[in-house]
Amino acid sequence: MQVYFDNAATTPLDPEVIEVMTTTMHENFGNPSSIHAHGRQVKTIVEKARKTIASLLKASPSEIFFTSGGTEADNMAIVRSIVDLGITHAVTSPLEHHAVLHTLEEQEKRGNIRLDFVRIDDHGNVDLTHLRELLSNNPKTFVSLMHANNEIGNLTDIKAVSELCQEFNAIFHSDTVQTMGHYAHDLSDLHIDFLTGAAHKFHGPKGVGFLYINGRNKIKPLIYGGAQERNMRGGTENVYGIVGLAKALEISYREMADHQQYIQGLKDYMRRELAKALPGITINGNEEASRSLYTVLNIALPKTEIADMLLFSLDIAGISASGGSACSSGSEIGSHVLQALNCDRERPSVRFSFSKYNTVEEVDFVVKTLKDLTENHH
């Protein structure tokens, strides 16, 4: 049995997405910047995709800019805000994705900003009182906090963060790569400046994403070139990717309520079964469903001799999951998220992440495999 439980890393393509992408590949090869019929046809397709995404997010099409993915979108929001919006101070959390952390750290290293880290509690939740303190002491602040953590699944109340940022006139950017397509985002109701998405996290293609830039912010491009993306990003558009992205988001919104219920059910079931099979496991991050991403379950197993080999052993058994321990073993650098949570270094952690394609049978198989692996090495 081959089982894929690493959907937070990437997801399989939805057949409907493949269909719309291949149709476009067959029929529409023009360059959207060309003014002849072949070009205009493709330009229309790109703009239709932009409208689809904007209407789902309750934003204006002029606020959606296509990128090569979440990383580029995060970089664009951070780097250009610092340069163009006169930012001198930034706040983030130690648990952010490296696309945000490394970009901000580099900006600090270059002397462009002062960087502060907001405090987090033992479960990895942002301390909003500390955030308020940091904002009240620093004008011209850029705040970057992700909606859901990609490793432990914690949800941050971005509505509360956006209200704090509004109060102190701070610029707010949220990496929503893990929640896009899994939760409804209403940008008409959220005081947010920048938000990012990547198609491959919700059954779309890799190599394409977008940056939402609230109309009140005027920034310059990160990538210069032609006049594509209304002069905001040079480079011929990834047309097939863009079409796939819009279709994938459309499907996600169409099926969201059902999938949320189904996947949350799988996650709860796996948690119960693991607790029965392996007494002594604990959850990394928030346990309550309302504060945790329903697609992610990160567990710390009891101490075992095979800690270093656990993911490898799961892989051999036909199970794809991802891990992370708080320490660095060999060349594998430990998880910065689990390190920040002061997790026990001797307990291996595994992240199982789910999609609509996973089944109860697969969960049973994983639980049995984990039980066998740990029992044989006690």
Q: How far is CA 58 from CA 82, 185, 191, 362, in A?
A: 26, 8, 13, 37
Identity of residue 144: S
Angle at 171 between CA 160 and CA 199, to 5 degrees: 80
Q: How far is CA 104 from CA 85, 141, 311, in A?
A: 15, 12, 31
Q: What is the rounded CA–CA span in Å between residue 366 and residue 320?
A: 10
Q: What is the rounded CA–CA span in Å between residue 116 and residue 114?
A: 7
- Cβ distance 285 to 149 under 8 Å? yes
Q: What is the CA radius of gyration of the chain?
A: 21
Q: What is the rounded CA–CA span in Å between residue 96 and residue 144?
A: 8
Q: What is the rounded CA–CA span in Å between residue 358 and residue 315?
A: 17
Q: Exactly one of 115, 256, 275, 327 is catalytic; name it.
A: 327
Bridge-based pairing of strands 89-92 and 141-144 is parallel
- The token pair at 249 is 């988001």
Q: Is 245 helix (H, G, I), strand (E, B) or coil?
A: helix
Q: What is the rounded CA–CA span in Å between residue 9 and residue 35?
A: 39
Q: What is the rounded CA–CA span in Å between residue 212 and residue 148?
A: 17
Q: Is 327 a catalytic residue?
A: yes
Spatial CA neighbour of 199 closest among 137, 235, 248: 248
In Å, how far from its chain's centre is CA 27? 32
What is the H or E stretch that residue 67 is in?
strand 64-67
- Exposed, middle or buried, 56 (CB in 10 Å: 0-12/13-18/19+)? buried
- Cβ distance 242 to 43 under 8 Å? no
Catalytically active residues, by annotation = 327
